[in-house]
Chains A and B, each alone.
Chain A
Amino acid sequence: MDSHLKEVWLKGEISNFKHHSRGHMYFTIKDDYSRIQAVMFAGNNRNLKFRPENGMNVLLKGEINIYEPQGQYQLYIQQMEPDGIGALYLAYEQLKEKLAAEGLFDPLRKKSIPVYPKHIGVITSPTGAAVRDIITTIRRRFPIVQVTIIPALVQGDQAPKSIVKAIQFANQSPNFDVLIVGRGGGSIEELWSFNEEIVARSIAQSHIPIISAVGHETDFTISDLVADIRAATPTGAAEIAVPSQQELIEKVHHLERSLKRVINDQIVRNKERLNKMKKSYAFRYPEQLIKQKEQQLDKNVDRLGRGIAQLQDQRRSSYTYLQKRLIQQHPDKQVKQLNNHLQQLLTRHHRSFQSIFRDHDKRFGTMIDKLSLLNPLNTMKRGYSISYTDEGKVISSITSVQPGDKMTVKVVDGSLDCQVWGIEEETNNDK
């Protein structure tokens, strides 16, 4: 192999670019007059700062060799740089575009910085101007805040990982309420760590608000775009991170003055109101007010009297009415009625009794007459007598006695004690 082809520099445009899934890159390098197949193995392309694309002009360094299966020359690329614009610039633009598309720069994602932080984490190199600027500015403005340096490498190959580690450390510790991530000014290569994707993503993922402070005013890194707020310089970051104690003291005094003024105003206002009231008619001529009220009282007393009288009248008339109704219902009247009725009944009773009595009297007389007609005494007067056995039984037959029996014969004016001497049965010829 030609030793001249061992280290070849080539300039051309990329076409037919293919990034194989296994990591190798295959493409054609061409210019207006010629072309050659090129391959850049994964081991070499891993550290590319940019992503090769079709149509991109590049500077290549590599070795030309023969790809035997096809029997053609091929360029085995060791290094590749964009031609025209710098590789870093291109990488910057490409990453910016990518992260913007993912929405990592979205203002809505930005966390707000606490107004009065208690503990600030500073992720930067523990040596150098940046850390000093940050600390002195914080101490000058707000000495009561706690500051912790989380050291990180801020340039070189190890820097991105170191910065990411520091951000992760801060997020795992419970103390910090805001982080400053940055470094002082330098070349674009020196600031490059802050354009690395892992640094940008780590800033985006932090749950602690992050103030970025990379380089100078004119340096704008990807970290600045992802951070919750960008400070132009480390000093600027410190100013954003903490309020000015002096200003705060003034603010507190101002608030205190406002407080006093407001309360004073209110007291004055109330005093004025009170004075106004004191000067009011009612306070100046209180007796007038009393007079008026007295008149009103009199009127009211009159009205009250009238009202009561009216009420009494009403009550009285309704009472009389009720009384009348009550009298009508008095039991005396009922008693009289019942008495009358009783008298009537008695009279009727008496009359009927008398008539019944008369009837009976009459009947009695008739019966007496009749009776006297039947009176045996009358018969006896005419010589009849009645004979009784010893036992007092009327003797009406000869069978009632035996000869020798004693008997009594009653005549009209007395009785005779007799004895039966003999019995003579009579034959009844009257029959």
Chain B
Amino acid sequence: MTNKQEVTFEEAMEKLEEIIEKLEEGEVPLEKAIKYYEQGMELSKVCSEKLTRVEKQMEQIVNEQGEMEPFIIQEEE
């Protein structure tokens, strides 16, 4: 996990689940297990951050020129 930016949420989730699965098998030597644990906690942090990051996503709409512009829901007339 050298670069958090590069990991997508999906990848991070998959990796985290993989790590837990490995650990649950119980065959991992302690030192490695601890390394996995640290990695897992890091991933968990990445996932949480990605999920809760306050980044207001604006809806947009494709106009007739094929360009994006902000979209505001119109209430039905």
Contacts and interface: CB of A to CB of B under 8 A. Distances in A.
A149 B30 contact: no
B20 interface: yes
A319 interface: no
Interface stretch (A254-262, A287-295, A350-358): A254-262
A257 to B, nearest CB: 10
A256 B57 CA distance: 27
A259 B23 contact: yes
A144 B55 CA distance: 7
Interface in A233-288: 245, 248-249, 251-253, 255-256, 258-260, 262-263, 266-267, 270
Nearest to B40: A259
Contacts of A256: 40-41, 44
B33 A248 contact: no
A414 interface: no
Interface in B21-77: 23-24, 26, 28, 30, 33-34, 36-37, 40-41, 44, 47-48, 50-53, 55-57, 59-62, 66, 68, 71, 73-77
Given A255-B17, A259-B19, A128 B76 contact: yes
A349 interface: no
Interface residues of B, number: 41
Contacts of A249: 48, 51-52
Interface string B1-24: 000000011100100110110011
Contacts of A116: 8-10, 13
Interface in A81-129: 114-116, 126-129
A156 interface: no
B49 to A, nearest CB: 10
Contacts of B62: 148-151, 169
Nearest to B60: A148
Interface string A352-396: 000000000000000000000000000000000000000000000
A333 interface: no
Given A262-B20, A263-B23, A145 B76 contact: no
Contact of B61 (A128, A143, A151, A253): A151
Given A116-B13, A258-B20, A259-B37, A149 B71 contact: yes
A147 B59 contact: yes
Contacts of B36: 263
Q: Considering residues A136, A144, A262, which has the most beta carbons from chain B within 10 angstroms of its beta carbon? A: A262
Contact of A143 (B13, B41, B57): B57
B33 A263 contact: yes
Given A132-B73, A259-B37, A149 B60 contact: yes
B35 to A, nearest CB: 10
B52 A147 contact: no
Contacts of A148: 59-62, 68, 71
A109 to B, nearest CB: 24
Nearest to A123: B62
A149 B76 contact: no
Given A116-B9, A135-B73, A249-B51, A266 B61 contact: no
Given A129-B76, A258-B20, A259-B41, A147 B57 contact: yes
Nearest to A121: B62
Contacts of B75: 132
A345 to B, nearest CB: 92
A252 B15 CA distance: 12
A239 to B, nearest CB: 17
Nearest to A248: B51
Given A127-B74, A259-B37, A259-B40, A144 B23 contact: no
B73 A131 contact: yes
A245 B51 contact: yes
Contacts of A127: 74, 76-77
A149 B4 CA distance: 30
Contact of A144 (B13, B16, B30, B50): B50
Given A135-B73, A144-B57, A149-B60, 9 more contacts: A116-B9, A126-B74, A129-B76, A151-B61, A256-B41, A259-B44, A262-B23, A263-B36, A263-B37
Interface of A: 114-116, 126-129, 131-132, 135-136, 143-151, 169, 245, 248-249, 251-253, 255-256, 258-260, 262-263, 266-267, 270
11 contacts: A143-B56, A145-B57, A150-B62, A169-B66, A249-B52, A251-B13, A256-B44, A259-B16, A259-B44, A262-B23, A266-B33
